[in-house]
Amino acid sequence: MDQLELKKKAQSYLDRENNDFFRKELEEVLAKEDWAELEDRFYKELDFGTGGLRGVIGGGDNRLNTFNIHKATQGLANYISAQNIDNPGAVIAYDSRHFSDTFALDAALVLAANGIKTWLFSSLRPTPELSYAVRELGASVGIVVTASHNPPEYNGYKVYWADGGQLVPPHDKGVIAEVRKVTHDIRILDEKEALDSGMLEYIDTEIDESFIRLIKSYSIRPELIKEWGKKLKVVYTPLHGTGTMLIERIFGELGIQSITVPEQRDGDGDFPTVKSPNPEEASALKMALELGKKEKAQLVIGTDPDADRIGIAEPDGDDFRLFSGNQLGVLLGDYIFSSLKEKNALPKHPALVKTIVTTEMQTLLGEKYGARVFDVLTGFKYIGEKIKEFESDKYEYVFGGEESYGFLCMREVRDKDAISTAAMIAEMVLYHYSQGKTLADRLNELYIEFGMFQEILVSKTIKGPTGAVRIKEIMQGLRENPPATFGKVAVREILDYKEKNRKNLPPADVIQIILEDDTIITARPSGTEPKIKFYASARTAPGSDLAESRKDIDSRLNDIRNFLEELTA
């Protein structure tokens, strides 16, 4: 794109942007004549994908800013209007990221101007509470302003439908089409007018109270918590996000001792104490682990900024052991299914839902308890979609999750939920503690029963205009010229999810490579970042020696990691 075209695009954006911060920020880039930066800001428009918007905050077409929020919300409003919904309503929540409160209010004022009654949380609230509030208030849609666990320069805008789940067909494509039509015709009220007309209403404690009651109602062993709760000490970090108020309250009401990392307790969009506010990464939990050692805690918990992902650690000698998302999902599934069975409370037709990149150990676990195990595409919205399907089916959702530290123990929420999961984890730890076991002890028992499973993720970030091209080349190469061996093991089968697949899932840009030793490697481009991700899962036979199994799996996965590094170089 030449300089004249870049200037023209920049001026077009400035003519439509009414936020002084974003106007001034872009004008400064223009004044510096930073053509590379301008190219990145205007080589494409920030795409409204199936989950909404996510991008770097700033002025420009390929940035998240007030104009793009207005445009997305006007398109959403147009789609809602076309559905002929009686008394349409919307709920909006936001996290601690920069401009989250501004973007949330802007979205509310556009919806209000379009005749859509909007409930806006008065302060930070987690994503799962937004999902719950949509159903609780009988709203038509929900919006949460968050970029989840992305770096501080990002923010995002996720849309939910009336069932409390993220957009899925046909609504996702319908909303995208309407957003792309919007250019200048954007309607917006000022805040006073919206409040005076009743089209905007602030909410907070009334939803908090019912959400907390719901979470506590899902306790399987409330008598255990009452007897043993005071013996459990938890160190918690919200990583400068939204989880503080709800998790502190729930643990307090359950009688569980909880200590929040003071330096990370309050919302802060700079996330000043961590490189990345992602509980998947051990470095993000460093301060919590240090406090856990000091306080002699039995459990450390961390949640991401919008409190939908959760990571944990337990004492291991003088240190703490972190659990992967796959390991935690297996432990939770094991506790929930075994406890419900013990109490004769397991549904007649139980269901466990997992994504195709989540460990197959969950499949074996679900089948042990007579559950139907459903595989879905990567993305928690597909788990939410299954729960909705079960409303008119014989199956009853019991548990679901994905390898990226997202889990759901309740049917009334339709997205991953670190708040209710934190309560269930505490109960699970107390149960094993009362049996004289640690989580590691129970996991080893499950490894002996089902075989040891271990997973790795190799993620390659390729930014800029050439990044998308390179990622497509890698996927195309796997399709057209697949390797005969992966690491040191021969390839047995290749599944291309762009074509008809044996799991009858919708077409997706995903390739699975199955090796002769049953290792599964899954390749997929990220839907929210300029990344290509490879998930590898290896296993050993049931009853194998755990030390030898671990050594064997580590070696196999290390060969695969080296192969993938060469493939994406």
For the chain, list the domains and their CATH numbers.
3-203 (3.40.120.10), 205-450 (3.40.120.10), 451-567 (3.30.310.50)
Query: What mean pLDDT comes out for the span 49-62?
Result: 92
* Closest by Cα among 393, 419, 391, 417 to 406: 417
Q: CB of 191 within 8 A of CB of 202?
A: no
Residue 462 has a pLDDT of 82
Where helices occur in 90-143 by DSSP H, the ranges are 100-113, 127-136
Q: What pTM does this model have?
A: 0.94
Q: CB of 535 within 8 A of CB of 521?
A: yes
Query: What mean pLDDT comes out for the span 437-454?
Result: 98
Of the listed ranges 66-80, 174-188, 310-324, the one predicted with least confidence: 174-188
Residue 500 has a pLDDT of 74
Instruction: Indicate whether 464 pLDDT > 90.
Output: no
CA angle in degrees (0–180, nearest 5) for 546-282-306: 120
Cα separation, 194 vs 202, whole angstroms:
11
Instruction: Indicate whether 50 pLDDT > 80.
Output: no
Helices 3-16, 20-32: axis angle to 10 degrees equals 160
Q: CB of 115 within 8 A of CB of 88?
A: yes
Cα separation, 371 vs 329, whole angstroms:
15
CB burial of 322-360 (b: ≥16 within 10 Å; e: otherwise) equals bbbbbbbbbbbbbbbbbbbeeeeebeeebbbbbbbbbbb
Instruction: Indicate whether 415 pLDDT > 90.
Output: yes
Half-sphere exposure of 358 (CA within 13 A, CB side): 33
Exactly one of 96, 148, 324, 537 is catalytic; name it: 148
pLDDT of 535-556, one tens digit each? Answer: 999 999 999 999 999 999 999 9
Cα separation, 264 vs 518, whole angstroms:
42
Where helices occur in 86-188 by DSSP H, the ranges are 100-113, 127-136, 171-181
Residue 353 has a pLDDT of 98
Q: CB of 507 within 8 A of CB of 520?
A: no
358: Cβ contacts below 8 Å, ≥ 6 apart: 326, 329, 401, 402, 403
Cα separation, 480 vs 388, whole angstroms:
37
Instruction: Indicate whether 249 pLDDT > 80.
Output: yes
Phi/psi at 365 (nearest 5 deg)?
A: -65, -50
For residues 506 and 126, which has the higher predicted lDDT (pLDDT)?
126
Q: How far is CA 83 from CA 79, 175, 263, 303, in A?
A: 7, 11, 47, 36
Residue with tokens 């909007």: 118
State the pLDDT confidence band at 502, using cuts at 50, 70 and 90: confident
Percent of the chain at pLDDT exceeding 90: 91
Cα separation, 552 vs 98, whole angstroms:
45
H helix or E strand, kind and range, residue 367: helix 361-368
Cα separation, 231 vs 227, whole angstroms:
9
Our CA dihedral for 192, 193, 196, 197, rounded to 10 degrees, sits at -150
* Closest by Cα among 335, 296, 293, 329 to 311: 329
Half-sphere exposure of 66 (CA within 13 A, CB side): 21
Cα separation, 502 vs 511, whole angstroms:
13
- Length of the chain (residues): 569
Structure tokens at 79: 């789609």
pLDDT of 178-217, one tens digit each? Answer: 999 998 889 999 999 999 999 999 999 999 999 999 999 9
Cα separation, 460 vs 533, whole angstroms:
6
Structure tokens at 343: 């109490």
Instruction: Indicate whether 398 pLDDT > 70.
Output: yes
Average pLDDT value for the chain: 95
Cα separation, 401 vs 417, whole angstroms:
10
Instruction: Indicate whether 47 pLDDT > 90.
Output: no
Of the listed ranges 48-52, 113-117, 240-244, 250-254, the one predicted with least confidence: 48-52
Cα separation, 460 vs 472, whole angstroms:
13
Beta-bridge mates of residue 454: 538
Pairing of strands 396-402, 372-376: unpaired
Residue 245 has a pLDDT of 97
State the pLDDT confidence band at 1, using cuts at 50, 70 and 90: confident
Q: Is 240 left (phi over 0), alpha (psi -120 to 50) or beta?
A: left
Beta-bridge mates of residue 313: 300, 322
Residue 528 has a pLDDT of 63
**3-class secondary-structure state, position 455:** strand
**3-class secondary-structure state, position 480:** helix
Of the listed ranges 76-80, 99-103, 168-172, 338-342, the one predicted with least confidence: 168-172
Cα separation, 165 vs 168, whole angstroms:
8
H helix or E strand, kind and range, residue 431: helix 418-434
Cα separation, 194 vs 181, whole angstroms:
25
Phi/psi at 458 (nearest 5 deg)?
A: -115, 115
State the pLDDT confidence band at 568, using cuts at 50, 70 and 90: confident
Instruction: Indicate whether 472 pLDDT > 80.
Output: yes
The yes-or-no answer on residue 338 being catalytic is no
